[in-house]
Structure 1
Amino acid sequence: MHDPNRIAGLIAAQAHAQRQRLQIAAAAGAVVSVAAVCLLGLSGWFITGAALAGMAGMAAVQAFNYMMPSAIIRLLAILRTGARYIERVAGHEAALKALARLRPQLFDALASAPPERALSLSSGEASARLVQDVDAVQTLFVRKSAPWALGAGAASSALLAGLASPLAGGLLLAAMTVSCLGVMVIARRLSDPAGKEAQIAVGALKDRLAALEAVAPELKAYDLNDWAVQQAASAADRHDSAQIALTTSAGWMTVSQAVVTAAALAVVVFATLGAPLSLTALAALATIMGMESAAGLVGALHQNGAAKAAIARLDQAAPQVLPHDGTRPPPPSLTLIAANANLRPPHRLGLSGPSGAGKTTFIERLIGLRDAHPGEVVMGGLDIASLSPATRRARFAYAAQDVRLLNGTVRDNLLLAGPGGDDTLWRVLEDAALAERIRAEPLGLDMPVGVNGERLSGGERRRLGLARAYLRTAPWLVLDEPTEGLDAATEAQVLKALERRLVENKQGLILVSHRTAPIQICQTRLRIEGMAQDGRVLVTPERQTAVV
C-alpha cells in the first residue's frame, strides 16, 4: 500500500519538533532584513545630509547631529551581524537535528516495506535516496526563514522610501511583487525541471558506479576498464547537464532580479523628485536593500524543484509499511502441502535440483523475503500467505547464498544477527571453521573486512555469513549452499559442527545444496524440478512430481 504523503508527514513532524529553533531562525532573519535596509538607508541619508550641511556653512555644520546617526548605524551593523549568525546557527541546527531523525526513519521505512519493493532498489539508488535526496530535503528547513526575511525587508524598505514620498513606497512594493512573480515563473519553467532531473541523474550515476564497482575484478580480467569509464562518463554527463541547466536557471533568476531592481530604483528616485536630497538617497538605498531581501526567496525557489523531486523519490522508495498481522508467532511446524511433508524442529529438510529451478526462490518465499503463494506452505496451521513477512522472518535464521557484508569489522558483521559476547562470537566462528583465520589477524574480531568483504575469500565470506546465522535464535536454520566453494576437509569440519549445533539447540534445518555431503545429513530430501505456470515450484518427493 502506497501513501504518497508519508514523507511529507515525517518532514512536517520534524518541523514541528524543531519549531523553536525555526522560529528563532525566522525572527533572526527578519531582524537581518530590517537592520540591513535601515543600515544602508540611514547611511545614505547621513552621508548626504552631512555633505549638504557642510556645503551650507559653519552654522549648518554646528546644528547637524552627527552623534546619534553614527551610533544608530553602529547598532544596526551589530544587529545585522549578530542576527545573521543566530539565523544560520538556529536554521542549520534545526535542519541537521531533523535529518538525524529522518534518515533512520526513512531507512526503517525502506527496510520494512513489502519485500518486492524493499529489494527492488539497487545499492547505488538506495544510497542516492538516503543521501542526496535527504540532503535536498534539508533546504526545506534552512529556508523557512526566507518568507519572514522578505516580509520584514519589504515593509521596512517601503516605510523608509515612503519618508521621501508615499508614492515611492507604493512603487517599491509593486516592484518587489513583480520581482517575486518573475522569479517564480522562472523557477517553475526552468529550475523545477532541472532540479528534478538533477535528483534523478545523481541516482542513476551512483547506481551505475555501484554496479561497475561490484564487477571491478571481472572488468580488469577482461580488459574492460575503458568501457567502464565510458559507462561512468555517460551517466556523469547526464548529471552534469542537469547541474548546468540548474545553474543556468539561477543565472536567469539573478538577471531578472537585477533588471527589476534597476527599474525599481529608477521609478523610486523619480517619485521622490522634490523631496530633500538626503531623503531621496535614503529611499534609493532602501530600495536596493529591499530588493536584496528577496534573495532568500530566490534561493528557496531555485532549490524547490530538487526538494519536490526528492520528496517524491523518497515516497516511492519508502511506501507504507505492511501492517503486522497482529497475531502471536505461530508454532514452528511446517507442512509442505503438495509434498505431504510435515516438519517440526529438529527435523532436517534437504532441497536439491538443477540450477535455476527455484530453490532459492522457494525458501525466500518461505521466510518472508518474497510474497508467498497461497497453498504452498502451512506454518502452525496457518497458510504462510496470510502471515506478514515480519512474522515469518521471526521463525527463521538465514544464511544466504549471496552473502552481503558491511564495510566494517568481523564483529560488526556478526552482531547484525543479535547480541553476543566475545566468547559467543568465537564459538560461532569455530563452528563455521573460520576462527583460525580470524585469530591469525592482529585485530582479531576487530579486523576490517572491507567493502562487501573484499579482504576475505569467497569461501570465507560464505562461512562468515554462516557464523552470523548461528547467532540468531530461531526454530529453523535455513542455509542456502553453505559449503559451496569449500574443500572437502573444510566442508566436513563445517558439517560436523552444524550437526552438533542442531542437536544441542534442537533447531530444525532447511538446507539447499548441489553437493552430496550436506544433503546426506538431512532426514527428508526433496528435489525441486522447476517452476509451474502459476509461479509455484515443482517438487519431486519420492520420485513423484507435485506442485508446492
Structure 2
Amino acid sequence: MSAPTGRIGALIAAQRRNQRRRLALSAAAGGVVAAASVGLLGLSGWFIAAAALAGGAGAAAAHAFNFLMPSAVIRLLAILRTGARYVERVSGHDAALHALARLRPEVFAIFATGRPGALLRASAGEVSSRLVQDIDALQILFIRLSAPWALATGATVAAALAWLAHPLAGLATVVSMAAAAAANGLLGLCLAAPAGREVQRAGGAFRARLAALEAAAPELKAYGLAGWAVHEVETAAGSLDRAAVRLSVAGGWMAASQAAITGLAVGATVIAAHGASTPLVALAALSAVTGVEAAGALAAAFRQGGAAHEAVLRLDELTPEPARAFGAHPRDTSLGIGLTGDILLPPARLAFVGPSGSGKTSLIERLIGLREPIPQEWRVGDADLCGVAPGAALPLFAYAAQDVRLLDGSVRDNLRLAAPGATDDDLWAALEDAAIAERVRASPDGLNMAVGSNGLKLSGGERRRLGLARAYLRSAPWLLLDEPTEGLDAVAEARVLERLDRRLSEKGQGLILISHRLGPVMLCERVIKLEMPVIGSAPACDAKRDLVA
C-alpha cells in the first residue's frame, strides 16, 4: 500500500513515527510467525515421512530413528508461532488504537479551527460519518504494516528449507510466492480497491442520509412520510450492501487465485525436488505451501487498502485550508461597518433589519468567522476582517444564534460551554437574565436537569432562552444576538428585553442585533436596513439609517 499524502497523510505519517516501537514489535513478531509457520509445517512433513520410512524399514531402523529432537523442535515452533501471533496482533492493534485516539481529535481540531468553506458545504451527518467511519478505516494503514516483513521472512525460510531438497525446489518456492503476491496485488488493484472505495463512499452516504432523516423525524411523521423515509434508508443501505458484496467477491477471487497458485507451487516443488529423499520432498512441498500462505498475508492489506485510501481522500476533501499565519490580531474593540462607514465602540447598540434572505445572519456569521469574510465588509480594530487571523477576533464576541444547538447533557453542561470556570451562582444569574431560571428551579434536578438531544425536552422558547443565557456567560465586549425573542410570547419577550437592557447597561457591553420584531430593535440606537441582494453578491444597505428613540 502506498503512503497517503496530503494533510491527513501527514498526520498519519506522524502517528506512524509516534507508534514506531509498537509497529516494529508487530513487524518482528510477524516475521517470527511466518518463519515458525513455514518451519513447523515443513519439519512436520519431513518428520512424518521420515518416521513412516523408518517404521517400514524394520524394528532396528525404527529404534534407531531419533524422534525426540524433531518432535521437540516442532513443539518449540508451535509455541513460538502462537506466542508471536499474539504479540503481533496485540502490538499492531495497540498501535492502531493509540494512533486513531490521537488522529480523531487532531482531525476534529483541523475542522473546527480551519476556514469554514468546505464544512459549510457538508451536512452534519456527513461530517460525523467522516470523523467516525473514515478515521476508523485508517487502522488498516497501521495493522497491516507487518505483512511485508512476514512475507520477506517467510520467503527466506521457505526457500531455504526447499533448497535442502534441491536448489531448483527453492527457486520454485520463491517464484510461487512472488506469483501469489503479484496475483493478490493485481486483483486487489483491479477488484478489491474499487470495491473498497465504493464501500467507504456508500457507507458514508448511508450514515449521512440516516442522520438527516433522523433529524427531520418530527416533520416526517407530521406529513405522513415515514414510509418514504424508510424507502430512502433502504435505498442507501442497498447501495452499501451491493458494494460490500463486490468487495466479498473480490476477496473470493483472491482466495481462489492463492489456492490455485498453492497447488501449482506444490507440483513445481515436487518436480524440482525429484531425486531427493521422500522426507526432503515432503519438507520442500509443505514449505512451498506455507510460503505461499505467507505471501497471502498481503491479501488482507490489498483487500482493505482501497477503503483506507478512500477514507484518506474523503477526509482531505473536507479538510479546510490551513489558517493563515500572517493575519493580524485586533488591538481594540472597535468595529467598522463597510456597508455604511460607521465605527462602533461598546456600549453602542446596532440592529440589522430587512426581509428574510437579505443576508443579515450571513453578515454576522462572517464577522465571527463562521463564514468566509468579504473584503472591506467589516473592520475589527484597525484591520480589515480578511486580514485578521482566523479565530483571533472571537474573544470580542458572545454569540446567540438563531438556530440554538444544545448538547445532550444537563443545563449546567450546556451553559459551561461558554464559561467552563463559571460557578453555580454565575449560571443562575445568567438564567435569571434570560428569564428561564424559574423553569430550571421547577425541576428537581436544578442545574443538572437533562435537556435531551439538542434540547428535545425543552420548548422552542426555552431552548432559545437557554442559548441566550449561555451567551450572557461569555465575557466579551460585544453581544451578538440573532432573533433572540423569536418564538416567545409577549410577556416572556418583555421580561427578556427588560433584563437584557439592564444587563447591557450594567456591563457596558455593546450589542449587535438581528430581529424581525419591533421590541428588540427598540433597544438599539442605530438601525441598518438591508435590502435583498443580487444573487451571488453581498447584501446591500439602505442609505437611510433611522435613529430609534
Asked if Structure 1 and Structure 2 have the same fold, meaning a TM-score greater than 0.5 normalized by the shorter chain, the answer is yes
Does the residue aligned with 2:392 lie in a helix, a strand or coil?
A: helix
Of stretches 399-408 and 376-385 in structure 1, the one that deviates more from structure 2 is: 376-385
Structure 1 position 219, deviation (Å):
0.6
Amino acid aligned to 1:507 = Q
Q: Give the whole-Å Cα distance in 1 for the aligned partners of 2:536 and 2:257.
A: 61
Match of 1:346 in 2: 347
Moved beyond 4 Å, runs of 4+: none
C-alpha distance in 2, partners of 1:317/1:222? 34
Task: Output aligned runs, 1:487-498, within 5 Å.
Answer: 487-498=489-500
Of 138-147 and 204-213, the range deviating more from structure 2:
204-213
Give me the whole-angstrom Cα distance separating, in 1, the residues matched to 2:92 and 2:484: 52
Secondary structure of 1:10 counterpart? helix
1:520 is aligned to 2:518: no
Contact 1:53–1:61 (Cα < 8 Å) also in 2: yes
Tell me which residue corresponds to 2:532.
530
CA distance in 1, matches of 2:442, 2:545: 48
**Which whole-Å deviations, capped at 9, do the CAs of 1:17-74 have from their partners, x for residues lacking one?**
0000000000000001111111111111111111111111111112111111111111
**Which of these residues, 432, 454, 457, is aligned with residue 455 of structure 1?**
457
The alignment-based identity, stated in percent, is 55
Matching residue's letter, 1:524: R
Cα distance 1:83–1:255, how it changes in 2: closer, same or farther (>3 A)? Answer: same
Aligned twin of 1:474: 476
1:349-386 Cα offsets, whole Å, 9 max, x none, are 11222211211111112222222222222222322222
Q: Would the aligned equivalents of 1:45 and 1:281 in 2 still touch at CA under 8 Å?
A: yes
**Paired letter, 1:456:** L
Q: Give the corresponding residue for 1:267.
A: 268
Deviations 1:274-328 (A, max 9, x none): 2111111111211111111123200001111111111111111113322244533
- Supply the distance in 2 between the matched residues of 1:64 and 1:439 (Cα, whole angstroms): 89
Is the CA contact (8 Å cut-off) linking 1:368 and 1:388 kept in structure 2?
A: no
Q: Does 1:147 align with 2:148?
A: yes
The answer as to 2:364 corresponding to 1:363 is yes
For residues 249 and 304 of structure 1, the distance between their equivalents in structure 2, rounded to whole angstroms, comes to 13
Following superposition of structure 1 onto structure 2, how do residues 48-63 of structure 1 map, counting pairs within 5 Å? 48-63=49-64
1:541 shift after superposition = 5.1
Measured against aligned partners, the alpha-carbon deviations of 1:430-473 in whole angstroms (never above 9, x if no partner) come to 22222222233333333332222212211111112111111212
Provide the residue aligned with 2:443 in structure 1. Answer: 441
1:504 corresponds to: 506
Alignment match, 1:125:
126
AA at the equivalent of 2:198: E
Q: Secondary structure at the match of 2:146?
A: helix
Shift of residue 131 of structure 1? 1.1
| Range with greater deviation from structure 2 (358-367 or 431-440) | 431-440
Q: Structure 2, unaligned stretches of length 5 or more?
A: none
**Within-5 A mapping of 1:235-250:** 235-250=236-251
SS at match of 2:406: coil
Aligned AA (1:500):
R
In 2 relative to 1, CA 530–11 (structure 1 residues): closer, same or farther, beyond 3 Å? same
Q: 1:467 to 1:541 in 2, by over 3 A?
A: farther
- Deviations along 1:489-509, whole A, 9 cap, x unmatched? 211221122122212221100
1:219-230 superposed matches below 5 A: 219-230=220-231
Taking a change above 3 Å as real, the CA distance of residues 442 and 282 of structure 1, as seen in their structure-2 partners, is farther
1:320 counterpart = 2:316:
no
Q: Tell me by how many angstroms 1:8 deviates.
A: 0.7
Which deviations, in whole Å up to 9, do the C-alpha atoms of 1:251-290 show, x marking residues without a partner?
1100111100011011111222221111111112111111
Classify the secondary structure of the residue corresponding to 1:394.
Answer: helix
| Alignment match, 1:287 | 288
Residue in structure 1 matched with residue 80 of structure 2 by the alignment = 79
Q: Write out aligned runs for 1:33-432 (5 A).
A: 33-419=34-420, 420-432=422-434
Q: Is the 8 A contact 2:329 2:393 kept in 1?
A: no
Report what 1:486 is aligned to: 488
Counterpart code for 1:351: F
Other structure's SS at 2:240 match = helix
8 Å contact kept, 1:112–1:118:
no
Equivalent residue of 1:391, what SS? coil
SS at match of 2:336: strand
Confirm or deny: 8 A CA contact 1:164 1:275 kept in the other structure: yes
2: CA distance, partners of 1:127 / 1:114: 18
Any idea what SS the aligned residue of 2:114 has?
coil
Quick check: 83-92 or 54-63, which moved more? 54-63
- Two-structure CA RMSD over aligned residues (Å): 1.7
2:172 maps to a residue whose letter is L
Whether the 8 Å contact between 1:6 and 1:319 is mirrored in structure 2 is no
Q: Do 2:330 and 2:380's aligned partners in 1 also have CA atoms closer than 8 Å? A: no
Per mean C-alpha deviation after superposition, the further-off stretch among 439-448 and 475-484 is: 439-448
**Conserved 8 A contact 1:4-1:319:** no
Counterpart Cα distance in 1 of 2:449 and 2:325: 38
CA contact (8 A) 2:327 2:388 kept: no
Measure the CA separation in 2 of the matches of 1:124 and 1:247.
Answer: 27
In structure 2, distance between residues paired with 1:60 and 1:126: 73
2:291 and 2:121 map into 1 onto residues whose CA distance is 50
Change (3 A) 1:533 1:262: closer
Residues 507 and 4 (structure 1), Cα distance of their counterparts in 2 relative to 1, 3 Å cut: farther
Normalised to the residue count of structure 2, the TM-score between the two structures is 0.95
C-alpha spacing 1:324/1:52, structure 2 compared with 1 (3 Å) = same
* Aligned AA (2:524): C
Per-residue CA shift, 1:118-141, capped at 9, x if unaligned?
322211111111111111111100
After superposition, what is the alpha-carbon deviation per residue over 1:317-345, rounded to whole angstroms, capped at 9, x for unaligned? 11332224453323111222442433110
2:536 and 2:165 mapped to 1: Cα distance? 82
Query: 3-state SS of the aligned residue for 2:93?
Result: helix
Code of the residue aligned with 2:10 in structure 1: it is G
- 1:29 matched to 2:30: yes
Q: Contact 1:367 / 1:389 at 8 angstroms: preserved in 2? A: no
2:327, 2:387 within 8 Å by CA — same for their partners in 1?
no
Paired residue type of 1:217: P
Aligned equivalents of 1:530, 1:455: Cα separation in 2: 37
Q: 1:265 to 1:533 in 2, by over 3 A?
A: closer
- Report the alpha carbon displacement of residue 532 of structure 1 after superposing the two structures with TM: 4.5
- The SS at the match of 1:182 is helix
- Normalised by the length of structure 1, the TM-score is 0.96
SS in 2 for 1:478: strand
Give the whole-Å Cα distance in 2 for the aligned partners of 1:287 and 1:534: 67
State whether residues 359 and 539 of structure 2, in contact with CA within 8 Å, keep that contact through their aligned partners in structure 1: yes
Separation in 2, partners of 1:45, 1:520: 96
Q: How many residues align?
A: 542
Q: 1:493 to 1:318 in 2, by over 3 A?
A: same
One-letter amino acid matched to 2:538:
R
Paired residue type of 2:318? A
